[in-house]
Amino acid sequence: METSRALFIPVILGTARMGRMSLHAARLVTEELSKCAGVETDLIDIANLPLPTNDAGEAIKQADFSAKMSKADALVVVSPEYNHGYSGLLKHVLDSCLKEYIHKAVGIVGVSAGPFGGTRVIQNLLPVMRELGLVTIFWDANFSSVQKVFTEEGGLLGDSYIRRIDKFLKELIWMAKTLRHGREQISLT
Partner 1 sequence: MGAVANPDKMICSHCKVEMNHHCDKMVYNVDAHDAGKTDPSMGGIIEEFHTCPKCGGGASRHA
Residues that bind partner 1 (CB under 8 A): 1-2, 5, 59, 70-71, 73, 98-100, 102-103, 133, 180, 182-189
Which C-beta is closer to partner 1: that of 24 or that of 180? Answer: 180
Secondary structure of the chain: what % helix, strand, coil (to 5)? 45, 20, 40
Question: Smallest distance from the beta carbon of 185 to partner 1, in angstroms?
Answer: 6
Distance CA 180, CA 159 (A): 32
- Within a 13 Å sphere around the CA of 148, how many CA atoms are in the beta-carbon half? 8
Distance CA 92, CA 130 (A): 16
Question: Smallest distance from the beta carbon of 65 to partner 1, in angstroms?
Answer: 15
Question: Smallest distance from the beta carbon of 133 to partner 1, in angstroms?
Answer: 6
Angle, in degrees to the nearest 10, between helices 160-185 and 22-34: 60
Helix (H/G/I), strand (E/B), else coil: 99: helix
Residues 6 or more apart whose Cβ sits within 8 Å of residue 42: 8, 10, 11, 30, 68
Which C-beta is closer to partner 1: that of 83 or that of 185? Answer: 185
Question: Smallest distance from the beta carbon of 136 to partner 1, in angstroms?
Answer: 16
Q: Cα dihedral sign for 79, 44, 24, 162?
A: positive
Which C-beta is closer to partner 1: that of 18 or that of 188? Answer: 188
Which C-beta is closer to partner 1: that of 102 or that of 162? Answer: 102
Which C-beta is closer to partner 1: that of 73 or that of 140? Answer: 73
Question: Smallest distance from the beta carbon of 78 to partner 1, in angstroms?
Answer: 24
